[in-house]
């Protein structure tokens, strides 16, 4: 029983962790992309479609990643090259993504999907409790763990990561040092898009292997909140993601048990939790200021 519940928590947390990690890198480079929800749903619909056509969920994963990355490129062109307002453009990305995915996925509605199968790791998967939880998982879960560690290493231990953080904290100085701010930001935005696409693929291939319109149900926005919650640190994203996964699954189990609280109130819990967490994290103005990348959301036009 405990094992089953923990497994569902992990499955619910994985897309949040992945999407939040991608957005974390984007924001570390000083770009606020509010289009996570849109990129995620595009990843979900393309992953589902590609899987249906080819029969292989692995092709689906690639399609999801590609969809997220290409879609984020639109955001990049608008905000980085054309210096459009980042908040408004992110909203546009979400609105367009929700509409386009509904249009693309119309014929997928009701089709049974193909679930991404677990890849047990030899020996490790035989450990009691931990084995089934951590080592008998699907590829996307393993990727999420690799991403957490990899991004932490990249940002805080590598030279390029240092440059990314420099760009996010002061793009004018970074530019003066000869760093190509715009190009780096394009990469950061597309990395965020690819991660959001992968997170979407997880939803339509693992979490609920089918296509439902608007199936992201605000997870892209929760991922954005997670980045703030994690104060832009990858390891904390992992913790926050699992906390939210636990809330989501906890309320589902409470609904199944029928404890006398209306189901709508329980369904609202993850959203209430997001607000509460944001309050706790943001109320100290000084720590927020220290943690937030200083150039976040500010446009940059190179002087020459």
Partner 1 sequence: MRIELQRRSEVSRLFSLVSPLLALVLTLFFGGIMFWTLGKNPFDALYSFFIEPLLEVWSLHELAIKAAPLILIGVGLSICYRSNNWNIGAEGQFTIGAITGSILPVLYPEWHSPMILPLMLVMGMIGGALYAGIPALLKTRFNTNEILTSLMLVYIAQLYLDWLVRGPWRDPQGYNFPQTKAFVPEAVLPEVLDSGRAHLAIVFAIVVAVAIWFMMRFMLKGFEVTVLGQSERAGRFAGFSARRMVWFSMLLSGALAGLAGISEVSGSIGHVQPSISPGYGFTAIIVAFLGRLNPLGIIASGFVLALTYLGGEAAQLSIGISDKVSRVFQGLLLFFVLSCDTLIHYRLRLVRHPAPGGAHA
Kindly list the residues in this chain that would bind partner 1 in the complex (CB under 8 A): 34, 74, 77-78, 80-85, 87-89, 91-92, 95-100, 102-103, 106, 175, 178, 180-183, 186, 217-218, 221, 224-225, 228, 262, 264-265, 267-268, 271-272, 274-275, 278-279, 282-283, 285, 288, 301-302, 304
How far is the C-alpha of 281 from the C-alpha of 275, rounded, in Å? 10
How far is the C-alpha of 205 from the C-alpha of 140, rounded, in Å? 10
Give the nearest distance from C-beta 132 to partner 1 in angstroms: 33
Taking the least distance from each CB to partner 1, the nearer of 159 and 283 is: 283
Q: Is the Cβ–Cβ distance between 4 and 208 less than 8 Å?
A: no
How far is the C-alpha of 275 from the C-alpha of 3, rounded, in Å? 29
- Joined together, the tokens standing for residue 226 give 């997670």
Q: Is the Cβ–Cβ distance between 184 and 177 less than 8 Å?
A: no
The residues near 79 (Cβ < 8 Å, ≥ 6 apart) are 31, 33, 85, 86, 89, 189, 299
Taking the least distance from each CB to partner 1, the nearer of 89 and 137 is: 89
- Joined together, the tokens standing for residue 145 give 């763990």
Give the nearest distance from C-beta 156 to partner 1 in angstroms: 25
158-to-18, 69, 161, 195, 269 alpha-carbon distances in Å:
21, 23, 5, 20, 39
Give the nearest distance from C-beta 19 to partner 1 in angstroms: 14
Give the nearest distance from C-beta 88 to partner 1 in angstroms: 6
Give the nearest distance from C-beta 270 to partner 1 in angstroms: 9
- Joined together, the tokens standing for residue 298 give 């500010």
Taking the least distance from each CB to partner 1, the nearer of 24 and 140 is: 24
Taking the least distance from each CB to partner 1, the nearer of 141 and 191 is: 191
How far is the C-alpha of 104 from the C-alpha of 93, rounded, in Å? 16
Taking the least distance from each CB to partner 1, the nearer of 14 and 216 is: 216
Give the nearest distance from C-beta 165 to partner 1 in angstroms: 18
């Amino acid at each position: 029983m405990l094992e089953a519940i923990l497994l569902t928590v992990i499955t619910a947390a994985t897309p949040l962790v992945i999407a939040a990690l991608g957005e974390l890198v984007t924001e570390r480079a000083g770009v606020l992309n509010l289009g996570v929800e849109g990129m995620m749903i595009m990843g979900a619909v393309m992953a589902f479609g590609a899987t249906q056509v080819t029969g292989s969920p692995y092709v689906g994963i690639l399609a999801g990643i590609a969809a997220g990355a290409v879609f984020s490129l639109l955001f990049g062109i608008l905000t980085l090259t054309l210096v459009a307002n980042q908040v408004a453009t992110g909203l546009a990305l979400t609105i367009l993504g929700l509409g386009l995915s509904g249009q693309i996925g119309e014929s997928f509605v009701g089709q049974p999907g193909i679930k991404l199968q677990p890849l047990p790791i030899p020996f490790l998967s035989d450990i009691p409790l931990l084995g089934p939880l951590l080592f008998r998982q699907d590829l996307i879960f393993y990727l999420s763990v690799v991403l957490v560690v990899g991004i932490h290493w990249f940002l805080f231990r590598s030279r390029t990561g240092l440059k990314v953080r420099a760009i996010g904290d002061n793009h004018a100085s970074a530019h003066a040092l000869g760093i190509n701010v715009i190009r780096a930001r394009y990469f950061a935005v597309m990395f965020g898009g690819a991660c959001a696409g992968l997170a979407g693929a997880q939803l339509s291939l693992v979490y609920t292997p089918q296509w439902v319109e608007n199936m992201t149900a605000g997870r892209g926005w929760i991922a954005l909140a997670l980045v703030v919650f994690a104060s832009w640190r990858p390891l904390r994203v992992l913790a926050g993601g699992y906390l939210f996964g636990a809330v989501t699954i906890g309320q589902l189990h409470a609904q199944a048990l029928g404890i006398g609280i209306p189901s709508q109130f329980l369904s609202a819990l993850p959203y209430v939790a997001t607000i509460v967490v944001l309050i706790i994290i943001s109320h100290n103005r000084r720590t927020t200021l220290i943690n937030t990348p200083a150039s976040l959301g500010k446009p940059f036009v190179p002087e020459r």
